[in-house]
Amino acid sequence: MAQRKWIEKSLSPSLLILELQNNNNNQTNHIPATPTPTPIKLPGHTIELQHSNHTLRLKGGTNAEMAPQIDYTVMVFKPMVEKFNLTLDCDIKRRGYYPKGGGEVIIWMSPVKQLSPIDLTDRGTVTKIHGRAFVAGALPVKLAKDMASAAGRCIRKEIRDLDVNIEAVREPDNEAFGTGSGIIIVAETSTGCLLAGSSLGKRGKNADKVGIEAAEMLLGNLRHGGAVDDYLQDQLIIFMALANGLSRVKTGPITLHTKTAIHFAEQLTKAKFTVAKSEEDVSPKDAYIIECQGVGLLNTNL
């Protein structure tokens, strides 16, 4: 338990930093979680590389406010963080919603000798927009269809040359605990970048508004010209710090979460970050480049 005492109760994507922990062979950790995700604490002594396959069983809220939804973890965070040479998989056993929680997610991770640096400075062009609108529990699937339709109409006002495919679903009762609704929309680009927008429904909130909020978040992330969205921006920092070499990421305006992540990553790993306005002529005025010379942490267990 001493190794895991810093883990706070959350299903946030940043929990996947546990990939960098040293644990027993094929061990499964059972980590309870509250419905509302909370920040992760990462003392320096926990930044170690594991020596074998590892499984995490996380319990709590999968789709809650103040953190990316579990769908974001699967659709955006996972494929993007795997560019560092990580291998992981995520299985959503049961979804859980505020205020009851009750969700369950299993994450499998394989050990890695060393993290590779990344260069995410060329976003390319958007080639595909797709998403998922969901309801669960006592809510009718019509609400999911309304969210999807409103989001599609909003996006097509600005992006007219691509189809917008948003699936509307009702979660099976045996795969969801409680009542909830929400939507996530992902834009894929020609260079393999993924950016998203999302929103959650709640009592008294019009379904169209939920869909439009997600669409506007996505469009905002696309307008700033970055290769990552606002959520992913800070999630990549610790991986950049530990990678072997120079990593570069083009982003929109630097968020407070990213500034905080950079501060603590530098303190804990001695990696050095620089943040500067993008000098490309075609870049929007609020585009930035985050650079980090990683420390090249080596897994001596492999």
Cα-Cα-Cα-Cα dihedral sign, residues 43, 45, 47, 52: negative
Residue 87's identity, in one-letter code, is T
209 in Cβ contact with 228 (< 8 Å): no
Name the token pair of 188. Answer: 């894929």
| The one-letter amino acid at 279 | E
When pLDDT is cut at 50, 70 and 90, the band that residue 88 belongs to is confident
pLDDT of residue 49: 56
Third-level CATH fold of 2-109: UDP-n-acetylglucosamine1-carboxyvinyl-transferase; Chain (3.65.10)
For 43, the token pair is 């003392």
Angle at 168 between CA 129 and CA 220, to 5 degrees: 35
Helices (H), the chain: 70-72, 78-81, 141-156, 207-223, 230-235, 237-242, 256-269
Tell me which of 30, 45, 51, 257 is the catalytic residue: 257
Return the DSSP state at 120: E
Annotated domain spans of the chain:
2-109, 126-223, 228-293
The pLDDT tens digits of the residues spanning 9-35 come to 333 444 444 334 334 444 445 444 444
At which residue do the structure tokens 């999807």 appear? 148
Domain 2-109 shares a fold with domain 228-293: no
C-alpha span between 161 and 298 (Å, rounded): 46
Note if 257 is an active site residue: yes
E-strand ranges in 34-136 read: 54-60, 88-96, 103-109, 119-120, 126-136
Rounded CA-CA distance 22/190 in Å is 36
CATH number of 126-223: 3.30.360.20
CATH code reported for the domain at 228-293: 3.30.1370
Q: What is the pLDDT of residues 231-250, one digit of tens each?
A: 999 999 999 999 999 999 99
Averaged confidence pLDDT in the chain? 84
pLDDT one-digit tens code per residue, 138-163: 999 999 999 999 999 999 999 999 99
